A and B are shown apart, each in its own frame.
Chain A
Amino acid sequence: MKTLWSISLIGAVLMLILELASCSKQACYDNTDPVMNASLLASGTGHDTSAVSLIVRGMTATDTIDFVDAKSVSNFSVPLDPGNDVTIFYIILDGVTDTAVITYDRTPHLVSAECGYTFVSELTGLSTTHNIIDTILIENNSVNLNGKRNLHLFY
């Protein structure tokens, strides 16, 4: 039973070392920015298609922010404004501008103790002008960190 005694005492020391080691702070390596993913589809056929050029700008109270400016794209990802329940995007497809208004509910989401909180959203509504866009359908309401497609944009 002396062995058990030794184990008890050594264990106590090891335990203290382990606990101290677990107190050390870790860095954040996780993705903390949820984005809304959309794919472009040909109106009528519903097949995947590519735009010659695509520019997507987010509208703030005082300014616009360029999120996408690319050639020959078939899908895009944009973040929703975590400070508001509505985000307005200017979508310029092949030089033609449409405006999309997206409404959603925001929820704080704990990524990890190291990374802290981000905001995930549930899409509640979507409206758009129809200069070049035929329609935008919501495929998946949850805008979170899982990378799943949220919108089908037909044009």
Chain B
Amino acid sequence: MAKGTCICFISLFLLVGSRVMSQDTVTVPLHVRGGFDLSGPVMHLINNNLASYGVMASVDLNQSISVNAGARYTSFSAIEYNYSFQSKGPSFVIGPDYNFIKPKVGEGRYYAGIGFRYGLSFYSQEASGITYLNYWGEGESSIPLSHHTGHFLEFTPGVRTELFKGVTIGWNLYLRVLISSGAGPDMKPVWMPGYGDATSGITTGAEYYISFSIPYKKIRVIIKPKPVSTDEDNVEVVGTPTTTPASIPGGRL
């Protein structure tokens, strides 16, 4: 009998405890994500000179921060009036994402935040035909195939939302800052894979990703209770005397 009473009390205690806990915490699933970029293939249909295929993977470290890594293969060719140029190669980015959406609202399914990446580009370039016309007349030249490693930084604000369970879509704007093209000041590539026009110190654009996510862990995040506003305090203070015993006799009168 005593044992049963004890179990009953413990169960009640746990129930009360969990109820108190659920008011202050929320369970957020952490995901492992893998996806691919849709914008590259779509742009290739419009712009034949640029073929760019990207994949990404990310792991949520907590309810706000995830680590994101991406790989991309780019092939670019251009034939302009006085030169023809080709570059191609893989590029890689890695860095953190910060989700501004509160865990209670996002529930691990939504993202609106900003990412910061470090990027590396391993590329080859050549200009197979350069023609020039100046005071000395016309001439032709070429730049042979050469291999380089470029570095850049990337800032990517973006949004992501769950299309249906396990599948998310989202886009990122990106602002890339060139650290080095690796080819020297004279031989900067017209297009550095993973970065863009390397004659410019900053490039901008956007990417559109479809990704598949798998929850790998659930964490309990403490939700801070909303601070009680002073207006509510006033209401309570004003209302309280009406229920005090002192006011009851007055009411009766």
Are A108 and B171 in touch, CB under 8 angstroms? no
* Binding stretch for chain A, among B11-19, B24-32, B136-144: B136-144
Query: Shortest beta-carbon distance, B42 to chain A, in Å?
Result: 7
B interface residues, Cβ below 8 angstroms from A: 39, 42-43, 46-47, 78, 80-83, 105, 109-110, 112, 127, 130, 132, 134-137, 139, 141, 143, 159-161, 169-171, 173, 185-191, 197, 199, 205-208
Are A108 and B134 in touch, CB under 8 angstroms? no
Are A60 and B208 in touch, CB under 8 angstroms? no
Are B134 and A33 in touch, CB under 8 angstroms? yes
Query: How far, in angstroms, from A22 to B80 measured CA to CA in the complex?
Result: 16
Task: Tally inter-chain residue pairs, CB-CB below 8 A.
Answer: 106
Query: Shortest beta-carbon distance, A148 to chain B, in Å?
Result: 15
A interface residues, Cβ below 8 angstroms from B: 1, 4-5, 7-8, 11-12, 14-16, 18-20, 22-23, 33, 58, 60, 65, 67, 79, 81-83, 107-114, 116-120
Contact residues in B for A82 (Cβ distance below 8 Å): 132, 134, 136, 139, 141
Query: How far, in angstroms, from A11 to B42 measured CA to CA in the complex?
Result: 15
Query: How far, in angstroms, from A17 to B105 measured CA to CA in the complex?
Result: 31
Query: How far, in angstroms, from A15 to B161 measured CA to CA in the complex?
Result: 17
Which of B80, B135, B191, B206 lies in contact with A79, CB distance below 8 A? B135
Are A81 and B208 in touch, CB under 8 angstroms? no
Among the interface residues B46, B80, B135, which one has the most CB atoms of the partner chain A within 10 A?
B135
- Beyond A7-B159, A19-B205, is A110–B110 a contact (Cβ under 8 Å)? no
Are A22 and B205 in touch, CB under 8 angstroms? yes
- Beyond A4-B161, A113-B78, is A11–B171 a contact (Cβ under 8 Å)? yes
Are B110 and A4 in touch, CB under 8 angstroms? yes
Question: Considering the complex of A and B, which 8 residue pairs feature the smallest CB-CB distances, nearest first?
Answer: A15-B206, A109-B186, A83-B139, A116-B83, A116-B82, A4-B161, A11-B171, A81-B136
If A15-B171, A113-B191 are given as contacts, then 20 extra A-B residue pairs at C-beta distance below 8 Å, sorted by A number, are A1-B105, A1-B109, A1-B161, A7-B159, A11-B208, A15-B39, A15-B173, A15-B208, A16-B42, A18-B206, A22-B205, A23-B46, A58-B136, A83-B136, A107-B187, A109-B186, A113-B80, A114-B80, A116-B83, A119-B132
Query: Shortest beta-carbon distance, A117 to chain B, in Å?
Result: 5
Which of A4, A83, A110, A111 lies in contact with B159, CB distance below 8 A? A4
Are B136 and A79 in touch, CB under 8 angstroms? yes
Query: How far, in angstroms, from A120 to B134 measured CA to CA in the complex?
Result: 13
Query: How far, in angstroms, from A20 to B45 measured CA to CA in the complex?
Result: 11
